[in-house]
Chain A
């Protein structure tokens, strides 16, 4: 996998492959997407530094937990308290080698 940088932006997906993860089989963050359907601004999409929140073809909010940097932004920014947020179980999740 190449991480040599060129003069164009690297997608966040690509950048996330450079960070080490010990992914747990179950998600540590659960999003109640029912609540999201009421939310007009959906700030999570803009705010998540890993780009894990997006909309599907039907305009429904989709969240994936693999690649979560555990920053906690979505927990704070969600105006509808739709994000049940916790840390992954011991030994799992993001593993910063530099930090």
Chain B
């Protein structure tokens, strides 16, 4: 068989499938090659997707996508050994379904849905095949891929391999991710049943909670924990910088269980049934991790592989940026194809499109955050101080307890002076 395709997309995750979806919409016949046994089978994320991007491109998605719950409550906790401080943000006004701006989902299922959408438009999704290499022709143009030992030719190749983008490394456009800007996420899916979840979290119907926390079992470690409510399940997990694993006494295989058994979380997931344990890497460098040239002769790089992922400190955004980059890649390929070209110069329009898009607007805005989040004070001292101060504020007995002296003592015992705090404040102002 000497078939040749318009476009071969390597990787059937959100970025790759979106690229195929938008390409097919433009009349191309893209082929997505996915190494997993079905689309989505290798995908892991925390649990939340933002609605705006789907509103733009997938009419009717609210009725058909595999949505677990609509996020109504946002929580952020600073957790200590025996107590925690939580900020709770709730939208009180009754919301119609199309007013929720984010929802929880299982990425494997969501990706499965995206795959169906892409196929409806005319893309071909081929799971169960691993791409090992990109074939370069004599002029150095990407002209095909080698999948499980067989060559498949194409005019354009889209690399949508995710965080471990071995092909980009082979092409020499990217080096191995750095430990300082890469984090390992581990996650557990726990079944509790819808009613039980609603009871424990004070929710109604299919409303959901997104809960982020620092401290607790992760005390002193740059990283955070998360909890999302799904339809019948709760997911919990931790995201920890790899450089931290190197430096500190921390065993990643145990983190998820330490998190689950921490009193702040255990009360929510008690008596559940553990369904799945998963792990995945994520980039945390923000703009620093973005591929300078996500294009080259005959190829483009999208999604996580290109570094389009954003850690806002509260949440990691990837799926919306992946979908957007897929749309822009399709745009760029379509333009190049009209001109009958596949050179790097022509395809560089992709980079310009990305720079003008929501992707760069956000990455630029948050460019100082990764540095700010390296501040050990946040993980080592802040939880204790917060718990000590509020612990005092909410304790009443015969003793006279004023908050201010406690705050001062607490700061002092952590070796924090006003100058350090002021610097931290300034940094925060620039980053968040």
Contacts and interface: CB of A to CB of B under 8 A. Distances in A.
Interface residues of B, number: 64
Interface of A: 3-5, 7-10, 12, 15-16, 18-19, 22, 41, 43, 46-51, 69-73, 75-77, 85-99
A91 B40 contact: no
Given A49-B186, A91-B128, A98 B166 contact: no
Given A49-B184, A49-B186, A50-B279, A77 B246 contact: yes
Q: Which A-B residue pairs are the 8 nearest by beta carbons? A: A99-B108, A91-B128, A49-B279, A51-B253, A9-B257, A90-B129, A15-B277, A72-B164
A40 B276 CA distance: 33
8 contacts: A15-B188, A15-B257, A47-B245, A48-B252, A49-B253, A96-B43, A96-B276, A97-B276
Contacts of A99: 40-45, 106-109, 111, 278
A46 B273 contact: no
A77 B40 contact: no
Contacts of A7: 261, 266, 270
B35 A15 contact: no
Contacts of A85: 164
B116 to A, nearest CB: 16
A77 B246 CA distance: 8
Main secondary structure of the interface of B (DSSP, over half): mixed
B91 interface: no
B254 A86 contact: no
Interface of B: 35-38, 40-45, 106-109, 111, 127-130, 132, 147-148, 163-164, 166, 176-177, 179, 182, 184, 186, 188-190, 233, 235, 242, 245-246, 250-258, 260-261, 266, 269-281
Contacts of A12: 253-254, 277
Contact of B163 (A4, A43, A46, A72): A72
A90 to B, nearest CB: 4
A70 B42 CA distance: 8
B252 A75 contact: no
A62 B177 CA distance: 25
